[in-house]
């Protein structure tokens, strides 16, 4: 396993769930971590935890991934502080499941803005630096819903299929540049993701249903696996699902 010492990782959506676990796990392997999301208080708490637990540097940068300038600033401030961007984790996302017939058009737009445009802005902001460095690793967090569609996931799945298509394009276009890309597709993970669902029909559908879930750390381990391979190894696709009870 390669060490992550002196590497710098930017993680979007680091204020909770999978992003927070990725920050912990990469820091535990020696990476300096730049924590990005909108809730800067949560990021500051995480930064304190990480500094206390591991001998790495951290930086908190309040970021809304729907704003291109925020992503440009995120990379600029990271380079000023650490000199390089070695890992960029496009993790921020929302899953506002709803049935198409219920016409939650504002939520469709929000998912497109965060899950697709947010990832595109992350690529826009980080790729020129990685290409210039002739090294770097972009991790895109898609989903099992980027491989399958289920009732109420049509729009969410569309955004996660888009993330996977971007990852596949990046693999093909970047393999001679020194920049690696990994698409990670988690199954159900126990996080805040479902707390924001507003469609009553979806909430009714899930009522009383108990499904086996993964821990956020299970996904963080997959990220660390991908970024600690020797530099000639490009881990392009990882799917991690919970076993069913
Ligand atoms: N949990 C699962 O079962 C599961 C399964 C497959 C894939 N995923 C994917 O995993 C990723 C992380 O989700 P999670 O499960 O960890 O959910 P979560 O706990 O709700 O975390 C979502 C993160 O995204 C951030 N975010 C949302 N909108 C943002 C915006 N406009 N700008 C910046 N950050 C924003 C949130 O931070 P702020 O609110 O502070 O901005 C939060 O840190 C998502 O892409 C999700 O689609 C999750």
* Ligand 1 neighbour 93 (Cβ under 6 A): yes
**Minimum-distance ligand 1 atom for the alpha carbon of 216:** 16
At residue 44, the pLDDT reads 98
At residue 3, the pLDDT reads 86
At residue 154, the pLDDT reads 98
pLDDT tens digits along 93-125 = 999 999 999 999 999 999 999 999 999 999 999
Decide if pLDDT at 175 tops 60.
Answer: yes
> Pocket of ligand 1, candidates 14, 24, 93: which has the most ligand atoms within 8 Å of its Cβ, to mutate?
93
Catalytic residue among 156, 161, 225, 232: 156
* Ligand 1 neighbour 94 (Cβ under 6 A): yes
How far apart CA 149 and CA 128 sit, in angstroms, is 34
Mean per-residue pLDDT of the chain:
97
How far apart CA 12 and CA 62 sit, in angstroms, is 10
Decide if pLDDT at 14 tops 70.
Answer: yes
Task: Classify domain 8-240 by CATH architecture.
Answer: 3-Layer(aba) Sandwich (3.40)
Give me the residue spans of the domains in the chain: 8-240
**Å from CA of 127 to ligand 1 middle:** 22
At residue 210, the pLDDT reads 86
Say whether 54 is catalytic. Answer: no
pLDDT tens digits along 51-77 = 999 999 999 999 999 999 999 999 999
pLDDT tens digits along 181-228 = 999 999 999 999 999 999 999 999 999 888 899 999 999 999 999 999
pTM over 0.95: yes
**Å from CA of 232 to ligand 1 middle:** 30
* Ligand 1 neighbour 17 (Cβ under 6 A): yes
- Strand boundaries in the chain, DSSP class E: 8-12, 32-37, 58-62, 87-90, 136-141, 179-186, 237-240
- CB 166 within 8 Å of CB 208: no
Cβ atoms within 10 A of the Cβ of 11, count? 33
At residue 2, the pLDDT reads 61
- CB 87 within 8 Å of CB 136: yes
């Amino acid at each position: 396993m390669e060490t992550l010492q002196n590497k710098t990782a930017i993680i979007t959506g680091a204020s909770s769930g999978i992003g927070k676990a990725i920050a912990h796990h990469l820091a535990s392997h020696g990476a300096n971590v730049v924590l990005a999301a909108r809730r800067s208080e949560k990021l500051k708490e995480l930064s304190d935890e990480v500094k206390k637990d591991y001998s790495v540097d951290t930086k908190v940068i309040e970021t809304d991934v729907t704003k291109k300038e925020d992503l440009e600033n995120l990379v600029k401030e990271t380079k000023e502080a650490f000199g390089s961007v070695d890992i960029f984790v496009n993790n921020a996302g929302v899953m506002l499941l709803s049935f198409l017939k219920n016409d939650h058009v504002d939520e469709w737009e929000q998912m497109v803005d965060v899950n697709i445009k947010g990832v595109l802005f992350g690529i826009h902001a980080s790729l020129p630096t990685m290409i210039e460095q002739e090294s770097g690793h972009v991790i895109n967090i898609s989903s099992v819903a980027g491989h399958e569609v289920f009732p109420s996931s049509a729009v969410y799945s569309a955004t996660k299929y888009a993330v996977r298509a971007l990852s596949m394009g990046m693999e093909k276009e970047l393999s001679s540049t020194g920049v690696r890309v990994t698409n990670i597709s988690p199954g159900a993970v126990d996080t805040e993701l479902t707390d924001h669902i507003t469609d009553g029909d979806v909430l009714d559908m899930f009522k009383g249903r108990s499904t086996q879930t993964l821990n956020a750390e299970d996904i963080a381990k997959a990220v660390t696996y991908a970024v600690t391979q020797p530099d000639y190894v490009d881990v392009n696709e990882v799917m991690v699902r919970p076993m069913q009870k």
